[in-house]
Chain A
Amino acid sequence: MNEMSPTGFMSVDQPVILTPDALRARIIALFNEMWREDREDEPVELKDDTILLETGFDSMAFAVLVARLDDELGYDPFTMTEDPVYPQTFLEFIEFYTKCAPKPE
């Protein structure tokens, strides 16, 4: 199945390498985008100590967030580690993505 136009969803062949700050900004932007798709109120502010499951996002929403990040970044850290990882705070979530990010050659 081939993507039809560059206007919509962008699929990546090569993993996208971002600085930790850029990665954080990207995750927050996607979180906010998904929030606004589903709800009328303003998205909660994501701070380092924000408990992910207290944001109003349930596990289904986080699964979708992880899938969309995989589409954008080209990797899914949850499928890259042997040990099950359950990030609880937003900081842990970011750190998990940073740790698993592909390193520049």
Chain B
Amino acid sequence: MRSQAGVNASGDTVHCKALNTAILDLNLADDHALLISPDRALYVADLPALAVAGEVVAGKAIALCLTQPYALITALLACDGHAHTMLLLAPDLPPATVVSLAEQAGIDLIISDRSDIEGAVSWPLKGEGRALAADTDTRWLLTTSGTTGMPKMVEHARASVTRGVRASDAARGARWAMFYDPTRFAGTQVLAQALLSGGTLLVPDANMSVTDAVAWLVEQGCTHASATPSLWRRILMAPAAGGLSLKQITLGGEIADGAILMALAARYPQTRITHIYASTETGVGFSVQDGKPGFPASWLEQPAGDIRIAVRDEMLWLRPPGGIAPRASHAEQDDEGYICTRDLVQRDGERVLFLGRDDASLNVGGVKVQVEAVEQVVHDHPDVAQCCITARPSPIMGNLLTLSVVPRDPATDSVALKREIKVWCKERLPRPAQPATIKIVAEIAMSASGKLERKA
């Protein structure tokens, strides 16, 4: 497989070169920092030495499973353009899962700093001092968290990872926070954007708390940050968050509701706030820049980009540019090329609002309740910092909703707050959607991809 220049649907040339080559093509100063972590940094001048390490993996199918995101990104920069295939694995996968995924993908070499993965070689690799041209069109294999435990592998051409990169003079010098796991699609998007537009990626250590990471990012002069709405709620709770001087905030991966968008706008009045809708089913998405939840209903008649949008029976349908075949084989597609996203939406005046996944609903006494819609109502309560709905099996109703709430003020009177939230829900939600039990908790678990974990 050789690299070739690609052109995306809107006619722009897309990055198809290996990441390291594409970065060198930007002609940045040798002392420009590409990656900064609390104890290490990688500069443009270090790239040729990394290419030497890449020689060891030339033509091979490799898996990368490294506990520190900084190490993972460094390894990725070294191997992209040399390896035939690069499987990126989350740092916390059980050893048996790592081995099983590697077998499925036909991996020749697992590179890991973990001691529990048999046969893995450690990073950094030792090359013999020859630097080969990074001209292989490396196949990227990413994983998505499967609902049944075993992650699913999704193949991406490098072009699809780098497609969203917007390079401009303004983007040069941007200092991007790496909140996502770099082995996830969202993580690869952030690292590609930061590195291919002449910016710097600020990479907190894996073991840092959100509070410590935010304090460190303030010190490092972070200007751009992308995270899930769940993670943004947690970031806003960090004492140092007020010190972030951000030019760009991006939200993705979950529904950005009005409460979090307003909270961010109030805290960062000078910052551009964008939320991204992406659909696994269609492999495409769009971004909304006006700081309001959902998207303008006018887009249904006059699309803002090259994707056409339709709403049928409260379900969002998208037609990718050129009407390409759906990414997921089970996706439903009509004669006009529209693909069903399985995301529910609701027209509210001039906006179309997201309600959640079609399958993220619970049956409460025969009524379908959309859990994300309930969470949005609770997030609107001024004393709620974070919340999460879980199902509680009920022999009488099938399911009941349990609501867990992290209060904005940890010293809050939890009995009074529970009572208030109960009334709040009663005034705003139909009976089956009102949580049966409310718990006040100190924190709510998030998955490696920064999304709420709705397991009971």
Cβ of A105 < 8 Å from any Cβ of B? no
Cβ of B432 < 8 Å from any Cβ of A? yes
The answer to whether A1 touches B443, judged by C-beta atoms less than 8 angstroms apart, is: yes
The answer to whether A63 touches B397, judged by C-beta atoms less than 8 angstroms apart, is: yes
Interface string of A49-83 (1 = CB under 8 A from B): 00000000001101110111001000010110000
Q: How far is the CA of A60 from the CA of B442 in the complex (A)?
A: 29
Q: Which residues of A contact B (CB under 8 A)?
A: 1-5, 7-9, 37, 59-60, 62-64, 66-68, 71, 76, 78-79
The 4 closest A-B pairs by CB, nearest first: A8-B414, A78-B395, A63-B396, A63-B397
**Could you say which of A2, A7, A59 contacts B414, with CB atoms under 8 Å apart?**
A7
The answer to whether B396 touches A3, judged by C-beta atoms less than 8 angstroms apart, is: no
**Could you say which of B394, B415, B438 contacts A7, with CB atoms under 8 Å apart?**
B415
For residue B440, which residues in chain A have a CB less than 8 angstroms away from its CB? 3-5, 8-9
Total contacts A-B at CB 8 Å: 70
Q: How far is the CA of A96 from the CA of B373 in the complex (A)?
A: 36
Q: How far is the CA of A67 from the CA of B414 in the complex (A)?
A: 19
Cβ of B436 < 8 Å from any Cβ of A? yes
Known A4-B414, A5-B414; contact A63-B441, beta-carbon cutoff 8 A: no
Cβ of B413 < 8 Å from any Cβ of A? yes
For residue B388, which residues in chain A have a CB less than 8 angstroms away from its CB? 1
User: What are 14 A-B residue pairs whose CB atoms fall within 8 Å in the complex?
Assistant: A1-B444, A4-B410, A5-B414, A7-B414, A8-B414, A8-B418, A8-B439, A9-B438, A9-B439, A60-B364, A63-B396, A66-B394, A66-B395, A78-B396
Q: How far is the CA of A60 from the CA of B434 in the complex (A)?
A: 10
> How many B residues face the partner with a CB closer than 8 A?
30
Cβ of B400 < 8 Å from any Cβ of A? yes
The answer to whether A4 touches B442, judged by C-beta atoms less than 8 angstroms apart, is: yes
Known A7-B413, A8-B414, A78-B395; contact A67-B436, beta-carbon cutoff 8 A: yes
The answer to whether A59 touches B395, judged by C-beta atoms less than 8 angstroms apart, is: no
Q: How far is the CA of A8 from the CA of B416 in the complex (A)?
A: 9
For residue B419, which residues in chain A have a CB less than 8 angstroms away from its CB? 37
For residue B441, which residues in chain A have a CB less than 8 angstroms away from its CB? 1-4
For residue A59, which residues in chain B have a CB less than 8 angstroms away from its CB? 365, 396-397
Q: How far is the CB of B397 from chain A (nearest CB, A)?
A: 4
Cβ of B392 < 8 Å from any Cβ of A? yes
Q: How far is the CA of A8 from the CA of B441 in the complex (A)?
A: 10
The answer to whether B395 touches A76, judged by C-beta atoms less than 8 angstroms apart, is: yes
Q: How far is the CB of B18 from chain A (nearest CB, A)?
A: 43
